[in-house]
Chains A and B, each alone.
Chain A
Amino acid sequence: MTDSRDFTASRRAFLGLAAGAGALALAGQGGPARAQLRTNAHIVILGAGAAGTALANRLAARLEGARITIVDGRAQHWYQPGFTLIAAGLKPADYSVSTTTEWLPDGVELKPEYAAEIDPEAKTVGLAGGETLSYDYLVVAPGLVLDWDAVEGFSLDMVGENGIGAVYAGPDYAAKTWAAMDRFTDEGGEAVFFRPATEMKCAGAPLKYTFLTDDYARRKGTRGATKITYAAHSGSLFAVPIVNEKVRMLYDERGFDVHYDHVLKSLDPGRKVLTFDTPEGATEIPFDFTNVIPPMRAPEVVRQSGLSWADRWVDQGWVEVDQHTLRHRRYPEVFAAGDVAGVPKGKTAASVKWQVPVVEEHLVAQIAGDTTDASYNGYTSCPLITRVGRAMLIEFDYNNDLVPSFPGVIAPLQELWISWLMKEVALKATYNAMLRGMA
């Protein structure tokens, strides 16, 4: 019970609370406040995907008077981590689709076409339409290309029929893959999964899709009639040893057949057979359902530009950058971010979130005639779904060390519901906030 003296005190507290709520509302509206740097530099960003868009927003907020041009021929923006959820029947195809323009800030000019040529000596970028842009600073962020032609016998129009899936190909293909997986798990048969021997984006995705197919077969009671094979391209299932061991144990527990040193060569849709190159020669594995993941390479425009490593990943063409600063090793006004960067880890959207502030710091420091020790440590993350409702939140760096964001709270190698929530609920929101330069 309160007397009237307490009443006044509580009323003051009450007003304070209301004021606090107001302040909270305001805090949500503003971005991170920082002093702006004046410059008239022209910055060209190639690619308005995860990395390019996030950088455009951050640089626009950070620089005053800079001319920022972003080049991307695709009108749609794709939230690619959502493809796995689409291919698991949990989200519709449009879950991953937005527009390129909606994420771009005022004052950043979009050239809605693809870059066709980069000349780092002349500091120019030629666009597909014929226009040539000169730059003071260039950020190369066009992602990677999926080399479907490298899989003999396969073409994208096969996806969705005859048990052929291709989760990576795009939102609509992911939805078609779900239709094929749904049909397959109704009856059972032989499912075969694999990954390419090149570097790839989200190396956990092929593993996740194997787990998800197993999960649906179990839920539908057809697991007994289903054989699941995983053909690893090397001697391990995952490049980080401690994660590899855990996945190996889980694969064993789930009853998957694992083959090592199997690299896909061709697919025969008529005979429903996959042919793999192995140290013992070509080996055929029959399939009733599969998820085709082709070799991945830097886009042609990058491979032709002379910006690629000459002695590493020669068949893939990733940009030759310092792995900590992401600055080009031969052209100091050129940076790479995202999947195209030639660094030993980091082809995930989560890595982009860590790379982008590093590029931003170095670029801004360079414009100001200053230096910075901002450094990218190789952070890469992958919520490794092990079934609908559970995942392992796996985060690691260049050293193959686990670098958990929530140490002691979310165990990295444990199948958890909270890690599933991260993937299903928090990841897209965090990604979008990152695109806006807010995360």
Chain B
Amino acid sequence: MEELTFTTLIAVFEEMFGRWLFWGMVVAAVAVTLLYVYVLIRDHSVSWRKFLLAQLAMPVGAVAAVIFVFAVTDSGLGDMGGPIDVIVLLGVAAAGAVGAAILVYTVQSLVAPPARET
């Protein structure tokens, strides 16, 4: 590839998923992140009980993300051929884990907001 600019990257992702699905996913990711920030600000603190449950979702998210990527790319663990492959795979797992944690935390906070003291 000649030069990988930000617009090229966006254009490639639009083609990969289709314009609507791609921007839909971006909007969904941004929306969940914003809601997460929103509940943090609203609640003024991190709820450690909710955080614990969110943490439990992390391995599930990691495994789900890896299975998803292998399924759509007709490949598997045995195809890891070098360090960069392992790094990319760990990145996929980490993204799945963090995404799942944020999602679970946010959903809990929205469904069961902490009782207001003042």
Contact = CB atoms under 8 A, between A and B. Distances in A.
B15 A25 contact: no
B41 A416 contact: no
Q: Is the interface of B mostly helix, strand, loop or mixed?
A: helix
B26 A421 contact: no
Contacts of B8: 433, 438-439
A433 B15 contact: yes
B11 interface: yes
A313 interface: no
Given A357-B2, A418-B85, A388 B44 contact: no
A194 interface: no
Interface stretch (B57-65, B68-76, B104-112): B68-76
A11 interface: yes
Contacts of B115: none
Contacts of A379: 2
Interface in B11-29: 11-16, 23, 26
A418 B89 CA distance: 9
A21 interface: yes
A410 B26 contact: no
Given A14-B41, A409-B84, A433-B15, A420 B79 contact: yes
A416 B81 contact: yes
B117 to A, nearest CB: 13
A438 B89 CA distance: 28
B69 to A, nearest CB: 9
Contacts of B75: 388-390, 417, 420-421, 424
Interface residues of B, number: 39
A416 B23 CA distance: 30
A416 B81 CA distance: 5
Contact of A432 (B15, B26, B79, B81): B15
A415 B11 contact: no
B7 A14 contact: no
A430 interface: yes
B79 A353 contact: no
B90 interface: no
Contacts of B82: 411, 414, 416
Given A409-B84, A424-B75, 7 more contacts: A28-B7, A353-B2, A387-B79, A389-B74, A405-B4, A417-B89, A433-B8
10 contacts: A1-B44, A14-B34, A350-B1, A389-B74, A411-B82, A417-B88, A425-B16, A430-B1, A433-B14, A433-B15
Interface of B: 1-2, 4, 6-8, 10-16, 23, 26, 30, 33-34, 37-38, 40-41, 44-46, 72-76, 78-82, 84-85, 88-89
